[in-house]
Amino acid sequence: MRLNLIRFLIVFLAVSSCAHAEEWTTEDVFSRHKESVVQVRIIDAQGGAKRSIGSGFLISDDGRLISNFHVVADFIHHPADHRAEWYSSDGSSGELTLLDVDVVHDLALLQAKDLSGRKFLAVESNLPNMGERIFALGFPYDLGLTIVEGTYNGLLEKSLYERIHLTASINPGMSGGPAIDRYGNVIGVNVATAGNQVSFLVPARHVIKLLNRDDATTRGELMERIAQQLRDNQAHYLEALTSTPFVTTQLGGYRVPAAIAKHVSCWSQTNQDQERLFDQTELSCQSEDDVFLSGDLSTGAIRYVHVLRSARKIGVLRFWAQLQRNLRSFYGDFGGDKSSVTAFQCHQDFLQHDELKSMLLLCVRRYREFAGLYDLVQRQVSLNSANRALQSTLILTGVDREHGLKFARRFAEEVQWTAP
């Protein structure tokens, strides 16, 4: 705890000392910070070569580094098969060990061997002004230390997880590198890009939060911390969602949940094919981002799709045969393998809620590494009309039993039949 206090003071002092000093040029940023930014390499223990690369930056004079969780994820999940190394642009390198992570905000705190005594970066928790010049540092495509310049465009409005929108070319390999304001302080950590100069940063205040926690001493403790972070995160956002009335919209004769929160965005599409056998309108909604767990497993997202189908040039039996085919051909892009998740277990039955009779199917699988967390798929097909049917699919990833059940039930009950 005392160590944390000291660390916090260092950060604070660094922030204070640098505030409102002279404005740095691109050359200043590069030359003054180049030895504080390193490449983070995850090495395959068998092959001895790089498995993945990212960037990181020094945050204390005793060799502590900040990088992204997703850069070191392989090292966390399979520590026996990998090792982590830092590599500096001056040619020096050394070993890295893991101290702590913030999986929800995609941050990792690492301890670098043989890297103490170097200059470290100061963190600025206040956000820059809109349009302010920002510099991002990192090692794109393993090309060597690179600096890119861009503009600050505020926090993402529609994101479940706080992200800074930066207009700059952040490329693969720069993840975990620092984003620096014009006074030379870190205001965020490079994390993702949508291409075409649309890039995202983790705000620096989450770095400060991570620094102020005790380090995890064992891998078991670290994994439990990740599980706890995921559980807290889902409890937080699902409680927020269920505590307010759902925003619903009319779809055919039904009322269905629409954009139920700011971070959920919906898209709609109607089949215009002249040859179609039935009319089909689709309303799909999803949260804008999720939490990266491993290369093929993400969590903490909410997705739902309502598809309204009305028979057009098709008899009742054929119409329902098509609905059955649509029900069965499901692909949720879940990812995960036998070692990380269980198989899905399903339950199905008829549901009668208010005026609407429907068939309801609920499938659940559990995360093996993270206790108490599940993925959930719920599908509901209305049974109140022979030639019109609403099929709603809800997907929740990384939720606990209590909140998952509560939300799934609320969601099913919000689907209403309104027209006679």
Question: Which residues in this chain contact other proteins in the complex, by CB under 8 A?
Answer: 275, 277, 313, 316-325, 327-328, 330-332, 334-338, 341-353, 357-366, 368, 374, 377, 379, 381, 383-386, 401, 405, 408-409, 412-413
Cβ proximity to other proteins, 144 vs 332, nearer residue: 332
CA 285, CA 412: separation in Å to the nearest integer?
Answer: 15
Minimum distance, C-beta of residue 279 to other proteins, in the bound complex (Å): 14
Minimum distance, C-beta of residue 80 to other proteins, in the bound complex (Å): 14
Minimum distance, C-beta of residue 357 to other proteins, in the bound complex (Å): 5
Cβ proximity to other proteins, 96 vs 302, nearer residue: 302
Cβ proximity to other proteins, 105 vs 379, nearer residue: 379
Cβ proximity to other proteins, 168 vs 377, nearer residue: 377
Minimum distance, C-beta of residue 264 to other proteins, in the bound complex (Å): 22
Minimum distance, C-beta of residue 284 to other proteins, in the bound complex (Å): 18
Cβ proximity to other proteins, 120 vs 292, nearer residue: 292
Minimum distance, C-beta of residue 348 to other proteins, in the bound complex (Å): 4
Cβ proximity to other proteins, 116 vs 248, nearer residue: 248
